[in-house]
Structure 1
């Protein structure tokens, strides 16, 4: 873009539009990331150019409230798109307009809410200006949407997004806008070429000079219609993004505290506060290990106890509880305390060496012996024989 201070307002405008098309429709949209400093610096330069152009347009009063599009000079009509260009630029702008040299790595959404609010205002000014041009620019549906806003430059989310709740009519509107947009893009190819090939050092290379003024005027009006379709679509995106950003949790920036001059990396021990470094234990070859430093810091874990021998046994022991008596000793202990009973020996085997021959027989054995003696004294049948004698 030429930096000559002798440019006319028309030359400056065409150079700005040429750069605008290069950023949003050219190869730079693929090469540069939108959140890169290079891309944002281009937007910042274009915003500055279009703002200065808008100031001149307002100062010269190129557009009057009581003038229709047919009464406006053909060469003035392209300047009506200035607010639309600013709206698109602010939609994609991530920096602060007054301090555009801020690094994006801090918070890329820090100024987003402010910028899209400005973009919303620019699109509404653009659409209301087109509505003032008469019925030849905006269609009936677009005029109805603008008239439904209670506050002209501050419509609500529902007024913009939910204007038509009928799904059938909304779908038909989108199809109609798509067809119209495709038709207008075809008609405006010559205008896009006009801006791409423009060179402020050679005004003779003006392809629009070969057309009749009425045809050129219709081309400029078609451009306004195309940008009006884009403006309504961008307004819907903006109000939805505002709603998302308004619910975004606030990010608190932690202030950087000045470093304590008493702290330095060369010191062997930091005795004044928290340190992420591991604390080193005293050397093993020291006879007396310090448990607490002079500043009260614990150097190694310790336990206060009165039973040193018990701790010594735990330290130098096996780490397990070992048995303190044999199995035989344990059984004797259990028997002595009545926790176990001796098993009675029944039916000891005959011929045992420990058997005592003088032991008294049991009652059962004695009864058996008496029975055997009685049978010997009273043989079988002896009683009947005595009864039959005689």
Structure 2
């Protein structure tokens, strides 16, 4: 059975590291001192693990019931290191970032191996661990090989509910007065619940770093990127740098350099184009395109456009009631026609009750 007596220095060092970790979590990653503080904290946690190993607090020959309550707090140390390593600021070098993520993966694996040895990885998490060990490079909490979008959505919802339930239960246990009074049973329950929470977030962390590794593998290597930017540059004096300044992104490049000198010949010896170019009749045509608006100017006014649309019949006119017909009282035939039409309409209204034709919507 592992020893239950840790020296005071281990407890004090752990408390100090936890305090610094909580302080660092409140500091933005863009802070100038963030990287140095993170490196110092990682070194401190690595020293804690060395002390735990030297004291043999955990043994593969014992069960979780054999581990003293005071030692349970040190079970997630590798998980804490994995999370901190994963927060290392990106230096801009994809290869270096891949090494950082693989270091975080190694810490997650050490944590999962330790808690799995105590049979703490159970239920859905046991299946996740089995899937991870089958293919650690492509592991994800929600399998990406499943083409059923509904099943994937339900799996994501289930994972979210599990995470929420563990977080709420852990918070509730920490608020228990017995835990605040350091009742051993309550303290042990909090420590074990914290381990269960860490097991869940470990798989989330492995999923996240696998996604990042996949993107980093597709990113161009720094040397290849430089080669692509300066390809065809020739001598040092023709590499688009002036006094150490990169001028390829400048908008105010010299006219000849920006349009006619892209850093190499336009055509190969066989006549193949080596870079895009535009044929113009003279250099004056190029000069005309320099000082011009940055947008396309209209080729006709609004009135001209409307007139053209009206001519083509593209504009509907009217839309109001037609003007009433004014009958010339001196035209006897026109007066008789209007009178006859009015009488016909009166006879029609007398013979047909209003609404008589409404057979579909009887009211």
* TM superposition score category, shorter chain reference: 0.5 to 0.7
Q: 1:110 to 1:193 in 2, by over 3 A?
A: farther
Query: Is contact 2:93–2:222 with CA below 8 Å preserved after alignment?
Result: no
Q: 1:86 to 1:276 in 2, by over 3 A?
A: closer
Say if 2:116 is the partner of 1:113. Answer: no
Q: 1:222 to 1:150 in 2, by over 3 A?
A: closer
Q: Over residues 275-302 of structure 1, what are the superposed CA-to-partner deviations in whole Å (9 max), with x where a residue is unaligned?
A: 979xxxxxxxxxxxxxxxxxxxxxxxxx
- Relative to total residues, which structure has the larger helix share, 1 or 2? 2
2:242 and 2:24 map into 1 onto residues whose CA distance is 49
The aligned counterpart of 2:56 is: 61
2:128 and 2:59 map into 1 onto residues whose CA distance is 23
1:164 and 1:175 map into 2 onto residues whose CA distance is 18
Query: Is contact 2:141–2:207 with CA below 8 Å preserved after alignment?
Result: yes
Q: 1:176 to 1:149 in 2, by over 3 A?
A: closer
CA RMSD of aligned residues (A): 3.5
Say if 2:129 is the partner of 1:146. Answer: yes
Q: 1:234 to 1:23 in 2, by over 3 A?
A: same
**TM-score normalised per structure 1:** 0.50
Task: Give the C-alpha shift of residue 150 in structure 1.
Answer: 4.7
1:43 and 1:192 map into 2 onto residues whose CA distance is 27
Return structure 1 stretches of 4+ with deviation > 2 angstroms: 21-24, 107-111, 147-151, 158-194, 206-209, 273-277
Which has the greater radius of gyration?
Answer: 1
The aligned counterpart of 2:196 is: 225
Q: Over residues 7-33 of structure 1, what are the superposed CA-to-partner deviations in whole Å (9 max), with x where a residue is unaligned?
A: 611111122122212222x3x2xxx3x
Task: Determine helix, strand or coil for the equivalent of 2:61.
Answer: coil
Q: 1:213 to 1:176 in 2, by over 3 A?
A: farther
Query: Is contact 1:94–1:109 with CA below 8 Å preserved after alignment?
Result: no
Q: 1:240 to 1:41 in 2, by over 3 A?
A: same
Say if 2:141 is the partner of 1:156. Answer: no
Task: Give the C-alpha shift of residue 73 in structure 1.
Answer: 0.7
Counterparts of 1:1-390 in structure 2 under 5 Å?
8-24=9-25, 26=26, 28=27, 32=28, 34-94=29-89, 107=92, 109=94, 111-134=96-119, 137-150=120-133, 155-158=136-139, 162=143, 165=146, 167-189=149-171, 208=179, 210-252=181-223
Q: 1:94 to 1:7 in 2, by over 3 A?
A: farther
Q: 1:228 to 1:175 in 2, by over 3 A?
A: same
Task: Give the C-alpha shift of residue 147 in structure 1.
Answer: 2.4
Q: Over residues 370-390 of structure 1, what are the superposed CA-to-partner deviations in whole Å (9 max), with x where a residue is unaligned?
A: xxxxxxxxxxxxxxxxxxxxx
2:64 and 2:149 map into 1 onto residues whose CA distance is 34
Query: Is contact 2:170–2:193 with CA below 8 Å preserved after alignment?
Result: yes
Task: Give the C-alpha shift of residue 192 in structure 1.
Answer: 7.4
1:48 and 1:118 map into 2 onto residues whose CA distance is 14
Q: 1:124 to 1:186 in 2, by over 3 A?
A: same
Query: Is contact 2:166–2:197 with CA below 8 Å preserved after alignment?
Result: yes
Task: Determine helix, strand or coil for the equivalent of 2:64.
Answer: coil
Unaligned runs of 5+ in 1: 1-5, 96-103, 195-205, 255-272, 278-390
2:242 and 2:206 map into 1 onto residues whose CA distance is 51
Task: Determine helix, strand or coil for the equivalent of 2:66.
Answer: coil
Q: Over residues 157-212 of structure 1, what are the superposed CA-to-partner deviations in whole Å (9 max), with x where a residue is unaligned?
A: 15766377365554444333333333333343488799xxxxxxxxxxx9946142
Unaligned runs of 5+ in 2: 1-6, 227-236, 244-363
